[in-house]
Amino acid sequence: MDVSNQTVIFNEELCTVGSDHAVVSWVTNRPCPGAAVRFGEDPSRLDGVALSSGEKYHLTELNGLKPATSYWYRVESRGARGSLNGLTTLPAPPGRFLFRFGIVTDTHIAAGKAYDDPNRIFLGKLSEFAGTLLARSISDVKERKVDLVVFTGDFTDTGDGLQYADARSKLQSLGNTPRLLCIGNHDKFTRFGGVGERGFYEYLVDRDKGFQSVLFKEHRFLLLDSCRENQNKGYLSAGQLKWLDRTLEESGDRPAFVFLHHPSHGADLWFGLTNHQDLTGIIGRYPSVQGVFCGHMHRNKVTSGSGDVPYVEVPATVQYPCGYAVVRLFAHGFEYNAYKVSRIDLSEMSRERFILKNGGEALLSRYSFGNLGDRSFSRFGGRLYRPRSYELSVTLDDRHARDLYEQTQALDGASLTPAGTGTTRVVLGRFPTFESAQTARQRTWSRYGVQARVDQTATGPPARPRRSF
């Protein structure tokens, strides 16, 4: 698409919605210093302004929002206007705020020797920028004032000693911030000449076994070792499962969080924990368990188990969307938010390296980025509150997409997303309810004569608390 004569907003994404903030990213085809997001509770009065952190690759945070409240926002970049979008913030868990912890996973430091796996060859794994992305993710979580950081494995790409040394040097930038470390399957690779698991203990931790229980601010943090040497699928030994069962029983009602590298619930079990039922059976017996967190699949995904316990897959730093997560603990619950690392240029580079085109790139982006309810949720009272989002868009050939984009600039605004060879998706709005999206769809037909479609881009119940689901 020839866009040389106008500013165009590409790949606008609502990354994160918390109880008091939201994060938006987008790309422009030319430098746009001073680009911003305008927002407010009244769509006709967007009085709030959040400036972009970049010139072509933009990331901005809308702060000072109220819990369980509807807001409207619009991206503005050098005269170009994105669509008028809506969101509803998460309900805040009851009680006083206690502390927050970060989660970082799948950094895949590749110093010395990178692993030419399908992720690197075909799916945008940025092995050459792995160290940069780990360093930036650590900087980002520190800026969010976390009290603790948990890493869920795959520090290294091939278990090489140089990779372990590089990872250790990056972890030193945490300073006095406590850190807890799980081992990943790549950290146990020896088939490429690396030191494997031995390096994990020699370079990164001061313990002699993979599982660990840590009490932090009266909360139990349980780290599991789900990995076997030179194996991609996960497994938990009988001894480790007995230890977990006994530790949870002895902990009583103290809130507990469980961490491991492999998924143990949901659709990703094909590449996850082979004895997942043993783990989920134990988790289901203890209401004290607040959540189970893992990496391995390089994507945002949340599934709920017994008692609505969330099983959370945290995105990789090294592959689109290039992310990390922060959990905020309250007296009676917690809030989870996944974020993009503040190198949107690298996140977009990873997306552009996806070998799948002709619409496949969009599908893979959606798989990795997940739904809004996979990136943000609250849990309290034994329930999950996950935001919904409905996207209004139309897919056209590049020329007609450009024409429609130009028409919208005088009225509603829009953004563009590549949809396949010769086609572009024009995004005309995002809305927290299906009804509001349908109303906008009718208005789009009357104004532009196009049949837009409404797609649900998030799962789960509405963000506002209600009595039953």
Residue range 163-180, pLDDT digits in tens: 999 999 999 999 999 999
Instruction: List, for the chain, all residue ranges whose pLDDT scores fall below the cut of 70.
Output: 1-5, 356-362, 457-469
Contact partners, residue 95, CB within 8 Å, separation at least 6? 330, 331, 332, 333
List, in sequence order, the alpha helices (H) in 172-273: 197-199, 238-251
Q: What is the pLDDT of residue 143?
A: 97
| Any domain includes 126 | yes
Token pair belonging to 438: 């349908």
- Split into its structural domains, the chain has a count of 2
| Any domain includes 469 | no
**Whether residues 396 and 379 fall in one domain:** no
- Inter-residue contact 274 to 235 (CB < 8 Å): yes
- Inter-residue contact 254 to 242 (CB < 8 Å): no
**Whether residues 244 and 161 fall in one domain:** yes
Residue at which a domain ends, from 327, 361, 385:
385
| Any domain includes 319 | yes
**What is the distance between the alpha carbons of residues 348 and 74, in angstroms, rounded to a whole number?**
21
How far apart, in Å, are the Cα atoms of 43 and each of 75, 193, 408, 429?
A: 13, 59, 17, 13
How far apart, in Å, are the Cα atoms of 317 and each of 153, 300, 402?
A: 11, 12, 33
Q: What single string gives the DSSP state of each residue in 132-200? A: HHHHHHHHHHHHTT-SEEEEES--BSS--HHHHHHHHHHHGGGTTS-EEEE--TGGG--TTS--THHHI
**Whether residues 227 and 299 fall in one domain:** yes
Token pair belonging to 251: 């902990």
| Any domain includes 3 | no
Q: How many residues does the chain have?
A: 469
**What is the distance between the alpha carbons of residues 7 and 27, in angstroms, rounded to a whole number?**
10
Token pair belonging to 334: 């917690």
Q: What is the pLDDT of residue 360?
A: 59
- Inter-residue contact 150 to 324 (CB < 8 Å): no
Residue at which a domain ends, from 346, 363, 385:
385
Helix, strand, or coil (residue 423): strand
Q: What is the pLDDT of residue 244?
A: 98
Q: Which helix (H) or strand (E) holds 133?
A: helix 130-143
**Whether residues 391 and 324 fall in one domain:** no
φ/ψ (deg, to 5) at 403: -60, -45
**Whether residues 288 and 410 fall in one domain:** no
**Whether residues 246 and 358 fall in one domain:** yes
Instruction: For residue 452, give the CATH number of its domain.
Output: 2.60.40.10
**Whether residues 327 and 228 fall in one domain:** yes
20: which strand partners? none
**Whether residues 274 and 175 fall in one domain:** yes
Residue at which a domain ends, from 352, 385, 418:
385
How far apart, in Å, are the Cα atoms of 22 and each of 55, 195, 303, 347, 376?
A: 20, 42, 22, 18, 10
Instruction: For residue 263, give the CATH number of its domain.
Output: 3.60.21.10
Spatial strand order of the sheet with 219-223 comes to 212-216, 219-223, 256-259, 289-294, 310-313, 301-304
**Whether residues 379 and 397 fall in one domain:** no
Structural domain containing residue 71: 9-90+387-456
Q: How many CB atoms lie within 10 A of CB 389?
A: 23
**What is the distance between the alpha carbons of residues 76 and 78, in angstroms, rounded to a whole number?**
7
**Whether residues 394 and 286 fall in one domain:** no
Q: How many CB atoms lie within 10 A of CB 206?
A: 5
**Whether residues 17 and 49 fall in one domain:** yes
| Any domain includes 466 | no
| Any domain includes 468 | no
Report which DSSP code applies to 19. S
| Any domain includes 25 | yes
Q: How many CA atoms lie within 13 A of 140 on its CB side?
A: 24
**Whether residues 278 and 175 fall in one domain:** yes
Helix, strand, or coil (residue 402): helix
